[in-house]
Structure 1
């Protein structure tokens, strides 16, 4: 697949994609179609057609495109939450322009983090899949499938020899895909805090019933977190009524449905559990 700039003339690169609906929608990486509104796609069965960019989300490195003609049968989206280290996976894509290439490997690691950025907005893609299936330039946007042929990830980066990374197909990325299909973009909520996962001490475990929490490292002045009363050093136990203990737990909750709505937080401070309420704002990129 190749993508073109908005004038339809300048080619800006290529990559891979995977059909995931019968009516012609394909999933790829945002960086594959960055700055483009369309391009051309060639399929393994010889089909060629123009494609349009439906929407892209650089902060998850996912994008949805659509073919202008009938596309080959779609793949089935699986669930990366079922993966285990050592499990067989298959990478399909167009490495170095070789259409329809297939490589096999294993899941080398789970729960990896991949930093991303758009302008001054920094974010981390959580639960990235690490694999030793051979990936090369052009593999980006291609499918990472399990032994049953279900798509469990979208290949996104080559981090080194024998070290490839894929964005997982899970509940969070399904929400992102749905938003791209509906609106062409993903609206995210902003709290204004930086946190890191930490284990709790035995007295804290007895007090809270949790073994891990998110320690607040920084609170942005004037942010919803600041207005709610969170302070550096607080241990966030629950957000939106759900326990949080991993780096991505908060990110998974901060979508459009909580923007401007009361968002309950429970935090442990000096041995006391505080019930706080924040009102998340919509995340915007400064001009």
Structure 2
């Protein structure tokens, strides 16, 4: 019996050893390596190193091409004060880039170079990104060109505070290592499709990096290419987040616990020509509950411009509802 087992084991080992590579089970690490290298080969030709000169001195960052005619996407903070931008390509070319548009609210900018055609990246399909999938970052951290790091999508739907003070929605959290100089580079999937724009790291934490999701990015990019800016609604107030006193919640039968207190109304603004007053607490706008200034920003998108919007406020302890016409910013 023992001899049969030994003989059977030896024959099985010989059969496995003699099997062709296609017949043997692929090593997971080999599959992982091949996925990364294939994506890098697809993406790298479309990733550029940006060198920036401006009023605040020089700087650098990453960017990537999104069309064959030379449109480049990067972070707005990379080119914010730029008087001259040079895009350096993997093949050694260096071309002057012109700023087409920028959006500080989402930290996205679009540039343009000539001498097409260029290799370019494709956006991933909407809602195709999954937690746990492979995430590959390509950029120029600390001046080292064409640097690749890989990790996974750690979380979706995060919010990130931009330098403008507004929240950027649809943010991807990843553990793919990002460093200064990675800003503006692409985050791609195993097929080399764009899933995000690398934008921020948390210096005090390891393995927590962020990218603006491709859905938000595509929305902003198309508008920057067309108009040079992103249109948003505007009321013309200064406000602050404010808790609603319990007695007013009970008296007015309110479920929400906070709103936005109007502390200033700009002259000649949409708010100034409406019934909105300093001291009002905004509870809803355009049928959307308003608990914070971030809620106001989300609600006042392009679709609200020049529209009469229903607004509900607390004034001197009582509820009031009227309309306000949104302007454009």
Q: TM-score, normalised by structure 2?
A: 0.66
Task: State which of 162, 179, 191 in structure 1 corresponds to 2:207.
Answer: 162
**Which residue does 1:55 correspond to in 2?**
101
- Say how many residue pairs are matched: 266
Distance 1:212 1:135, change over 3 A: farther
**Which residue does 1:19 correspond to in 2?**
65
Distance 1:145 1:243, change over 3 A: farther
User: Would the aligned equivalents of 1:266 and 1:273 in 2 still touch at CA under 8 Å?
Assistant: no
User: Would the aligned equivalents of 2:166 and 2:294 in 1 still touch at CA under 8 Å?
Assistant: no
Distance 1:2 1:216, change over 3 A: same
1:16 & 1:274 partners in 2: Cα distance?
A: 50
**Which residue does 2:161 correspond to in 1?**
114
Question: How many angstroms does 1:102 deviate by?
Answer: 1.7
Matching of residue 190 in structure 1 with residue 238 in structure 2: no
Question: How many angstroms does 1:29 deviate by?
Answer: 0.5
**Which residue does 1:34 correspond to in 2?**
80
Distance 1:253 1:134, change over 3 A: same
Distance 1:130 1:25, change over 3 A: same
For structure 1, the 5+ residue unaligned runs are none
User: Would the aligned equivalents of 2:259 and 2:291 in 1 still touch at CA under 8 Å?
Assistant: no
Distance 1:70 1:105, change over 3 A: same
**Which residue does 1:136 correspond to in 2?**
179
**Which residue does 1:178 correspond to in 2?**
222
Q: Deviation per CA, 1:66-87: give whole Å up to 9, x if none.
A: 1122253211123675434333
Distance 1:212 1:77, change over 3 A: farther
1:145 & 1:197 partners in 2: Cα distance?
A: 40
Question: How many angstroms does 1:144 deviate by?
Answer: 1.1
1:96 & 1:188 partners in 2: Cα distance?
A: 35
Pair member with larger Rg: 2
Question: How many angstroms does 1:179 deviate by?
Answer: 2.6
Q: Deviation per CA, 1:32-85: give whole Å up to 9, x if none.
A: 112224422222344432221212222221100111222532111236754343
Q: Deviation per CA, 1:168-219: give whole Å up to 9, x if none.
A: 2225x43422232123233433223657699xxxx99xx99xx989832445
1:246 & 1:88 partners in 2: Cα distance?
A: 35
1:273 & 1:41 partners in 2: Cα distance?
A: 56
Matching of residue 68 in structure 1 with residue 114 in structure 2: yes
User: Would the aligned equivalents of 2:282 and 2:311 in 1 still touch at CA under 8 Å?
Assistant: no
- Mean Cα deviation higher: 220-229 or 61-70: 220-229
1:81 & 1:250 partners in 2: Cα distance?
A: 25
User: Would the aligned equivalents of 1:22 and 1:73 in 2 still touch at CA under 8 Å?
Assistant: yes
> What SS is found at the alignment partner of 2:69?
coil
Alignment RMSD (CA, Å):
3.8
Q: TM-score, normalised by structure 1?
A: 0.74
**Which residue does 1:235 correspond to in 2?**
283
2:241 & 2:158 partners in 1: Cα distance?
A: 15
- If each structure's strand is expressed as a fraction of its own residues, which one has the higher value? 1
> What SS is found at the alignment partner of 1:15?
strand
**Which residue does 1:147 correspond to in 2?**
190
User: Would the aligned equivalents of 2:107 and 2:162 in 1 still touch at CA under 8 Å?
Assistant: no
